[in-house]
Amino acid sequence: MCLVIGPTGVGKTLLIKRLEQASSASKKGSSYIFNDLPSTIPTVGTSLVNVSVNNRFDVTLRELGGSMGPIWKNYFKDIIGLMYVVDISNRLQVAAACIQLLTVLSANNLPVVPVLLVFNKTDVPDKFTKSEIESLFRLSEIVKHCGRQVEQVDVSACTGQGVGDILKWLEQNCHGK
């Protein structure tokens, strides 16, 4: 099982819907083309979804609602991967998201699993730039010191940009476990 966490409203549920839809959508590079915009409601508790990874195998994604932040750590047991989603258009939330990420990565019960930082909502014009995110998150230090493999993707769950990069990460990191 791969855990999907991040603050409220960052787009975890929509992203998981896109990963589910990807196998029947058309692809352009690492992006998928979606013609609809499914509605979502805030996740209360947790939701489990099976996603087909590039038609090769299925992986179970467990989303934990952002409002459950204080008890995310109760779900770390037996995970094989961790996706942490950030809304790069939410200037008020990004600093808190960074602190929350550091708390997650330093939890002593977090297994040594691959971590994917998902920078979502790239479609919003007034978003943080890549270099602002780099320095706010001190990404290079996180990557160096957290003792786990940390990768990053820029995506838009709205437009489908970068959704293929997440599937590629799942294929390479959450296979057969």
Interface residues with Mg ion (CB under 5 A)? 12-13, 43
- Minimum CB separation of residue 62 from ligand GTP in Å reads 12
E strands, the chain, where? 2-5, 26-28, 31-33, 46-53, 57-64, 81-87, 115-120, 150-154
> Which of Mg ion, ligand GTP, none does residue 147 bind to, with CB < 5 to 8 Å depending on kind?
none
End-to-end CA distance of the chain: 8
Q: Assign residue 29 a region: left if phi > 0, alpha if psi is -120 to 50, beta otherwise?
A: left
Stretch that binds ligand GTP, among 11-19, 53-61, 72-80, 105-113 (CB under 6 A): 11-19
Binding mask 133-162 for ligand GTP (x = CB under 6 A): -----------------------xxx----
CA dist., res. 117 & res. 127, Å (int): 16
Residue corresponding to tokens 């994917």: 116
Tell me whether residue 50 or residue 108 sits nearer to Mg ion (CB atom): 50
Buried b (16+ CB within 10 A) or exposed e, 45-72: ebeeeebebeeeeebebbbbbbebbeeb
Kindly state the number of chain residues that form the binding site for ligand GTP, as judged by CB under 6 A: 20
| Neighbouring C-beta atoms of residue 39, cutoff 10 Å | 8
> Which of Mg ion, ligand GTP, none does residue 14 bind to, with CB < 5 to 8 Å depending on kind?
ligand GTP
Which residues ranging from 14 to 43 are in contact with ligand GTP (CB under 6 A)? 14, 40, 42-43
Q: Which of 93, 100, 120, 173 touches ligand GTP by CB under 6 A? A: 120
Residues that bind ligand GTP (CB under 6 A): 6, 8-14, 40, 42-43, 65-66, 120-121, 123-124, 156-158
